[in-house]
Amino acid sequence: MLGWLCAAALVCAGDGIVSPALSWQRPQVTLTASATQTPPLPGILSAAMSRAITVPGGYPMSLTAVVGGRPVKASWTYVDGLPGLNSQLDSWLLGILDAAAAPSGARYRPAMALNAGNSQNAALSVSAEPVQASGTVVAVRQKVSETGSDGTRTVSSATIYADTVSGEVHRAAELLRPEAREGILAQATGVPASISGPLAQWPTLDDVVLTSSGDLQVTTERPAGRGQPGTEDTTTIASADTLATLSELGHKILHQLQAPAAPPPATAPALRHINCDLVPCAALSYDDGPDPKTTPRLLAILKEKNVQATFFMTGSNATAAPATARQVAEAGHAVGNHTFSHPYLTKLTPAAIRSEIDRTDAAIRTATGSAPSIMRPPYGAADAAVQSAVGKPLIIWAIDSLDWQSKNPAVFVPKVLKEITPGAVVLMHDIDATTIAGQQELITNLQAQGYRLVTVPQIFDGTPLLSGHVYRSRPERK
Ligand code: NI
């Protein structure tokens, strides 16, 4: 992949290269002392460095897909309260997946991650994990490893920095003065800049972890001719030598790494970021409750299966069973307004529609502490008059389980499994014991296919839900 080094034939010969003494100096940067402390010998330091760490608010994601005929694996970590970081990860991942799909003339679609098996030999492995969390900074290392059809392996990595206060995200290269780049790369690769050829042929300097003590951990791909291709080496440049290499932004971030920790604000589980253009999602929704007998049983199953769902409650049932309504909200599920008395809204006057909505909002607010921002008209019955009167987005469904009609899991579970597609909202009812009886099987099967089960706000994340508009499933990515 990198032909940039072999112009220096002497250096490319053989694996057992002794680290150059680095007696050379670049005009702006002096890198003498640390060269002997941390010779760029392969592999020894890399294992201990840039290791994924746990950060407050971090939650793991993973994906197995077949894209352009090749198995792909991805794993990454979102961080609550850092939308800039999370959306950067999304566009980075989608860019890689789109590029992988391009030879087949397609764009990546989440359906490619359904029933993809669990291939141990992914042709493309992608990861993005936090490697540094200190002060108000979270640094994430993004890595791509690809095995070509001829068996050659290439690897590339980059580090990005997110500020937990401002939310800003920067690439590692922005932390360094442009003129310091050559000197740092020379030290990281062990090849003096004087014999490395034109600057344009240097590898990118994208994977740099700045520690709170000011050290720089620089990761570069092993140069051609120096052992196993497709591996990376990490070199630490001690803080005494790095200060002169940092840009103004680099100094600012070093300062922030040393600041008192400021974890970003937590997000309610029902609203936690997930990108349903990337991951195949489905939103299970349960209407007509809460019911003090059946709803808690459903909550137990959802908890066991680690699923967030959406409950469209009637005001009358939220009034009758406020503790159950509260239990739903406290378990992190989304709650929607399903009117007070479950009428056909199309048969009511605008004032009567408003009353149904307002009384239900009040009942749910009394029980759970907040009023719903979404609603579902009973029977899915809505017309222009209803749409303008309800004052909320109308969430209908893409898949009707007809659970209330069959009252039989052997009927409605296969129906949903047959009709499900990524982005769909599924209608069920948490007041029927037979519905609850089918949930274990339904959820197990959906998850085995690769579906991530999310709330209605999550499945529409990135699509503004507008008052008076009707939604049934997530629109395809533009
Ligand atoms: Ni209903």
Ligand 1 centroid distance, CA of 269 (Å): 24
- Of residues 215, 429, 430, 461, which has the active-site annotation? 429
3-state secondary structure 23-64: CCCCCCCCCCHHHHHCCCCCCCCCCCCCCCCCCCCEEEEEEE
Q: 44, 82, 90: which is closest to 222 by C-alpha? A: 44
User: Which residues line ion ligand 1, judged by CB < 5 Å?
Assistant: 287-288, 378
Please tell us whether the domain made up of 28-37+47-257 is placed in CATH 3.40.109.10: no
Ligand 1 centroid distance, CA of 426 (Å): 13
Ligand 1 centroid distance, CA of 315 (Å): 12
- Domain spans in the chain, listed from the N-terminal domain onward: 28-37+47-257, 269-471
In CATH, the architecture of 269-471 is Alpha-Beta Barrel (3.20)
**Axis-axis angle for helices 322-330, 350-368 (nearest 10):** 70
Whole-angstrom distance between the N-terminal and C-terminal Cα of the chain? Answer: 33
Report how far apart, in Å, the C-alpha atoms of 193 and of each of 24, 92, 226 are: 8, 31, 17
Please give the chain's pLDDT, 478 residues, in tens: 333 333 332 233 233 333 333 322 222 332 322 333 333 333 333 334 457 788 989 999 999 999 999 999 999 999 999 999 999 999 999 999 999 999 989 999 999 999 987 766 789 999 999 998 999 999 999 999 998 878 888 888 999 999 988 889 999 989 999 888 888 888 877 766 555 555 545 567 889 999 988 899 988 876 666 666 667 788 888 887 778 889 999 999 999 999 998 878 888 899 999 999 999 999 999 999 999 999 999 999 999 999 999 999 999 999 999 999 999 999 999 999 999 999 999 999 999 999 999 999 999 999 999 999 999 999 999 999 999 999 999 999 999 999 999 999 999 999 999 999 999 999 999 999 999 999 999 999 999 999 999 999 999 998 899 999 999 999 999 8
The Cα–Cα gap between 476 and 67 comes to 17
> Which residues touch 406 (CB under 8 Å, ≥6 apart)?
412, 434
Q: Is 432 a catalytic residue?
A: no
Ligand 1 centroid distance, CA of 297 (Å): 19
Domain pair 28-37+47-257 / 269-471, same fold: no
- Of residues 206, 287, 291, 432, which has the active-site annotation? 287
Ligand 1 centroid distance, CA of 338 (Å): 7
Ligand 1 centroid distance, CA of 428 (Å): 9
Q: Is 429 a catalytic residue?
A: yes
Report how far apart, in Å, the C-alpha atoms of 78 and of each of 54, 60, 89, 144, 209 are: 11, 7, 8, 17, 19
